[in-house]
Structure 1
Amino acid sequence: MEAFIQQLINGLSVGSVYALIALGYTMVYGIIKLINFAHGDIYMIGAFVSYFIFLSLEWNIFVTLALTMLVTAFLGVFIEKVAYKPLRNSPRITALITAIAMSYLLQNIMIYVVGPEARSFPQLIQNDTYTLGNISINQMEILLLGTSLVLMVLLQLVVQKTKMGKAMRAVSIDSKAAQLMGINPNTIISFTFLLGSALAGAGGLLVGMYYNTIDPTMGATPGLKAFVAAVFGGIGVIPGAMVGGLLIGIIEVMISAYGNSMIRDAVVYLILILILLVRPSGLLGKSNKEKV
């Protein structure tokens, strides 16, 4: 039982990062019905931004986190303005292809700028370990879980309790009707990219600290898994992205611990196929409810 609880803690740690990235997918889809496949690469850039901020300025983790989120937030808005906004009225397949192209563009730009090799991430905190019987948890896991949960709760408060959040939900339901009520859809879409990209940047910093290594291709697989998590939980539904991310992380870790680690990625993609076959709206998705 203790071994199971230990693996559950590990799964929640990994899953909390998937949840942070999945939130960006689900918010953008909820507003403009676009799968932003460049989102995983924004997470990767967040890891490198935090890496260079800390090495250059040696600020503490919280200042580094705030600056990383700020940089990736504005990067997300810039990408939306340059790559997606001109295609707003184009067929969805056009925007989807553009998102895939943007992903590879960001990845290759980073390979050119920082080089293809992996880098060792600096240790930003003292990583002490606490034990209770045979169960152990270190400060990095506490920080990963705590920061992720706080950010997810703050996002939910923004969406549910603020005027901008109400406007996001209105645009999600009916963009034209929201515009008639005085809401500017362009502002809301940019704000959505800003929030989602900030969370992805935070995820990049946390993963860099957790695994102690970063590289320009690190966003590809977690980005796809976060997309699976968003679909699993119900894409377009914020609580669904949280639940989906945490469940995918737990499933991955449990398969590695009690099954075969070689097939853990295959199982995640199998989940995507099964959820689309059995319940396309996801665990928490409802076809006739608001999306955000």
Structure 2
Amino acid sequence: MAYFVDQFFNGLTLGAVYGLIAIGYTMVYGIIGMINFAHGEVFMIGAFISLIVLLLLAQIGIAAVPVAILVTLVLSAVFTALWGYVVERIAYRPLRGATRLAPLISAIGMSILLQSLVQLAQGAGQKSLPPLITGRITLGEIDGQTVEVAVVRVVIIAVTLVLMAAFSIFVAKTSFGRAQRACEQDRKMAELLGVNVDKVISLTFVSGAVLAAVAGLLYTVYYGSIDFFIGFLAGLKAFTAAVLGGIGSLPGAMLGGLLIGLIEVFWAGYASAEYKDVAVFAILVLVLLFRPTGLLGRAVVEKV
């Protein structure tokens, strides 16, 4: 039972990271109806910026972990947001009126470009970071076994919950959130009513990039090792999470992320670690076959 609890928290931690990335996918799809396949690389860039900032802060003598993480979070969010804006301006805005295939190819090309840039700048090898948050919290005893959870997992889950609550309020209560929902329902009508559609779409990419930056920081702190290729697989799993939860639904993206994290961890722990990725993508196939709208998604009415 202690092993089950440990794996459960491990799955929640991993799922929280997937969920934060998945929100970027689902927001972009909700507004422009396209999948940003460069979003996984934006997450990877956020992880590298976090690693670089943390190492620089350690070199200049900032040893307080909360201060270092807060400074890293701010800087990583700013620089990663800029990359999100660049992706939208280069890969999507010029092709917004084109067929759906053109932006898809452009996004895949941008994904490869970002991978290559980071590989040239940082090398192909793994970059490591010493553990920042250590210790374990004792939850109690079950069947004579002490049940513990790592502090870093609790921190990551708590940060994700707070961030999701704040982001949900931001989308629901602010003028940007209202403009975003208006663009999602009908971009042309929103533009006729005075909504700056280009600005809303750009800010949507930026918002998704900020959440990806947070996910990159949490991933770096949790695993302590990253490379230029982590965005590809994490991006695919986050996309699977968005589809599972219901593409276009923010709660669905987080729910899908948590479920994908739990499925991956429990499959690796109780079945076969070699086939955990197969299990995740098998879920994607099943969802597309039997419930293409996802768990919390809704059918899209085609406007004619």
Alignment TM class, shorter chain as reference: over 0.9
Length, aligned pairs only = 288
Aligned ranges 1:119-268 → 2 under 5 Å: 119-125=127-133, 127-132=134-139, 133=141, 134-268=146-280
Deviation readout 1:197-231 (Å, 9 max, x if unpaired) = 01111111111111110111111111100000000
Determine if contact 1:51/1:122 at 8 Å carries over to the other structure. no
How far has the Cα of 1:122 moved from its partner? Answer: 3.7
Which of 81, 85, 88 is residue 89 of structure 2 equivalent to? 81
Deviation readout 1:9-64 (Å, 9 max, x if unpaired) = 11101100000000000000001111111111111111110111122234511111
Tell me what 1:90 maps to.
98
Aligned ranges 1:264-279 → 2 under 5 Å: 264-279=276-291
Mean Cα displacement is larger for which, 100-109 or 141-150?
141-150
How far has the Cα of 1:146 moved from its partner? Answer: 1.2
Aligned ranges 1:27-38 → 2 under 5 Å: 27-38=27-38
- What is the CA RMSD across the aligned residues, in angstroms? 1.2
The one-letter code sitting in structure 2 at the alignment partner of 1:161 is: K
Tell me what 1:52 maps to.
52
How far has the Cα of 1:281 moved from its partner? Answer: 0.6
| TM-score in terms of structure 2 length | 0.92
How far has the Cα of 1:3 moved from its partner? Answer: 3.1
The one-letter code sitting in structure 1 at the alignment partner of 2:69 is: I
Deviation readout 1:101-147 (Å, 9 max, x if unpaired) = 1111100111001110101124333x111122232112211121111
How far has the Cα of 1:288 moved from its partner? Answer: 4.5
Task: Give the 4+ runs in structure 1 shifted more than 6 A.
Answer: none
Q: Structure 1 CA distance, aligned partners of 2:288 and 2:300?
A: 17
Mean Cα displacement is larger for which, 186-195 or 133-142?
133-142
Q: Structure 2 CA distance, aligned partners of 1:137 and 1:190?
A: 39
User: Identity over the aligned pairs, expressed in percent?
Assistant: 48
Determine if contact 1:61/1:124 at 8 Å carries over to the other structure. no
Q: Secondary structure of the equivalent of 2:230? A: coil
Tell me what 2:110 maps to.
102
Mean Cα displacement is larger for which, 64-73 or 280-289?
280-289
